[in-house]
Amino acid sequence: MSGSNGQTDTRTYQSLAEDCPFGSVEQPKRSTGRLVMHSMAMFGREFCYAVEAAYVTPVLLSVGLPKSLYSMVWLLSPILGFLLQPVVGSVSDHCRARWGRRRPYILTLGIMMLLGMALYLNGDAVVSALVANPRRKLVWAITITMIGVVLFDFSADFIDGPIKAYLFDVCSHQDKEKGLHYHALFTGFGGALGYLLGAIDWVHLEVGRLLGTEFQVMFFFSALVLTLCFVIHLCSIPEAPLRDSAQDPPSEQVSQGSSSLADGMHEYGSIEKVKHDGADPELVMQGGKTKKGSEQSQRAMSMRSLLRALVNMPLHYRCLCISHLIGWTAFLSNMLFFTDFMGQIVYHGDPYGAHNSTEFLIYERGVEVGCWGLCINSLFSSLYSYFQKALVSYIGLKGLYFMGYLLFGLGTGFIGLFPNVYSTLVLCSMFGVMSSTLYTVPFNLIAEYHREEEKEKRQEAPGAPESSGRGKGVDCAALTCMVQLAQILVGGGLGFLVNMAGSVIVVVMTASAVALIGCCFVALFVRYVD
């Protein structure tokens, strides 16, 4: 980010890791255990996502939510996330908490996820116990449930950016790649376990009788898994806080840290040290004088400067964001309507029939089988994430990216053209390929871009101003907010397409067409670092 321009109201921040004038120092190798601990946040988040996918519609129906409010429930969260995520990404780049830059936001969003689950899974029971008037009870139950769903979706979508930025801050380039694969691996495991637990009939088990209803059982398990996973994640790798250079003059910074810097250098984003035998103490002493205008200088961004930074992103970043938007639009188009597709098209059921009719029971059976298909998707996503590490050395990131979109486009196309139960369940494995691809390859490319930029900056003159006002948090947020934009497009457009076509099969065919368009885009327009 741009350095101080001489104005007295400009406040400059730098990380404890950024006290050396030699540019970025390579991070130490992280153990597999540390990377697994870091990935537990994705396990907990996806577990709770699966629980929401299985239970949020029955919850909304049980409280009597009017159909006119359905679009508000599903569109409000992605709209908020799309507007606010880059802002919070920028703010986290300048966070000065003692815990570091990313972990305070991850903790806050994790608590908001827990609160959202508590509201939408337990709100109806709490309102029923506290409110006697039937009309007021209905209003309060709908209100609290809606708030819970929006709060959970907003937090769960939002938290991906800080988690990725945290990984990028504290890991070497090789460990970033490993960490992203572990993220995808545990994302699949978490989703599979969530879907499996959702398929169990808890009402007739002792746990169900003890806790009350099936909704309370799932809240108990979700809260327990989420809390444990986030505690492990936050304790995985420590971060270094930012220091305010206006409050800590360079002379004080040197006197406090020169002895340690002579022996080793604090690394960007980590409180751990790496030996640097070639460090010259005299150069270190001069570090505070040369930092202004260098890559270590970071200035708190206003909303205007943030928007300018996003608009002026390099072309290859914008192309990556567009490809991510295309991929998530295709993926969500299929996933959000998949169980309905199974019930109506594959099983020929009728969701609008009487609840005791044969057609409605057949539809419910199709929905249950569709949940097993989503479980296959999650399991195959984990399996494919494991093999990605071997495949990337043969076909590269471009091959992985292209193959993920291609297999998903062909798989959904065959499902739409030949809606058979067994072939559909087999082709659900292609959903897992796409899921793993979306969770890993774009962020691997972001890491490659960052590494390339760091190499270029190390070759520049020490006092040269930075060409960008972005930090890693902003870049990760810009990429992940494409997921929210995809949700807005899917939520606002697919319902119209279904009404026009008169059949939900148009959803699957749309997903296939968008994914195949994405194949061409990632092959022709996305930039890959050699």
At 138-192, the pLDDT tens digits run 888 888 988 998 899 888 888 888 898 888 888 888 888 888 888 988 988 898 8
Given strand 12-15, what is the order of strands in its sheet?
A: 242-244, 12-15, 298-299
Give percent of the chain above pLDDT 90. 23
Give the β-pairing of 298-299 and 270-275.
Answer: unpaired
pLDDT-derived band at 45 (thresholds 50, 70, 90) equals: very high
Least confident range of 252-266, 346-360, 512-526: 252-266
Nearest to 441 by CA among 394, 486, 404, 480: 404
Mean pLDDT rounded to a whole number for the chain: 77
Rounded alpha-carbon distances, angstroms, from residue 506 to 461, 471, 499: 56, 40, 10
Instruction: Name the residue among 329, 528, 328 with its Cα closest to residue 446.
Output: 528
Are 396 and 419 in contact by the 8 Å Cβ rule? The answer is no
Find the mean pLDDT for residues 89-117: 86
Residues across the chain? 530
Where do the DSSP E strands lie in 64-174? none
Instruction: State which H helix or E strand residue 163 sits in.
Output: helix 160-170
CA distance 234 to 217: 26
Q: Which residues pair with 243 in a beta bridge?
A: 14
Core vs surface per residue 309-345: b (16+ CB within 10 A) or e: bbeebeebbebbbbbbbbbbbbbbbbbbbbbbbbbbb
| Cα–Cα distance measured from residue 504 to residue 507, given in angstroms and rounded to the nearest whole number | 6
pLDDT in tens, 272-290: 433 333 433 333 334 443 3
Domains of the chain in start order, with CATH, are 29-238 (1.20.1250.20), 304-456+470-529 (1.20.1250.20)
